[in-house]
Structure 1
Amino acid sequence: MGFRLSLASFTPEGCDTMIAINDEYADGRDMSWLWDVDFSSLRDTGVAMISGVRAWDMALRLEYDQVPVNSVNTELEEAVSTFVNANPGTPKHIYCTYTAMLKTRAALGKIAEVADAGVGK
């Protein structure tokens, strides 16, 4: 439900989108929930980058919703850097699971000022 609400909260038009999916213990190991999310709202704009441990599962899921994917990189820190530095001036949306969020925040902290919020840099 959370992923669906996140997608509904932000219009993808005029923005680049990244999705990072992990399946570590804190995220839950069962990735079947990806099939409960309707990703069709991303169909027109596509997804610029997919990363995380389960990046290829996410890419397959998006293919079923006919969402174009520009790039898949399972190395999260590298993917975040590539994503953030592409298309300067274009707003960015990053959707991710819990552990991917922690790693994404750490990677962003190396690029820009990011409030710690207890996750470190």
Structure 2
Amino acid sequence: MPSERARRGAAVETAAQAYLRQAGLSPISRNARYRGGELDLIMRDGETTVFVEVRYRASAGFGGGAASVDLRKRRKLVLAAQLFLAAHPDLAERPCRFDVIDASGDPPQLHWLRDAFRLEDC
């Protein structure tokens, strides 16, 4: 049985995916696991492939979820995205970006950070 934390994380990811769908993005994949990292959501925004990291914190007192996407985490996400694109060559030639959904509070309030970081930031 999944832990309470795992259930909460899955619920927040589901809410984030619904939020992004309402904003016009289409789902490609969810919880794609690769060496060194996991891609929470992979969405399409027009021709752009969007890798979305969903971060939940009960309180924003320590900087919230977005602040936890540090350099080490960004590098893991980039590596996982590269492996995903290698496995999906039809998407590899399209533009891509990295977004973060920062969720905090109970019930979680979602804050979408488009283009939260770039490859050159890693």
What TM-score results when the alignment is normalised by the length of structure 1? 0.30
Higher relative contact order at CA 8 Å, sep ≥6: structure 1 or structure 2? 1
Structure number with the higher strand fraction is 2
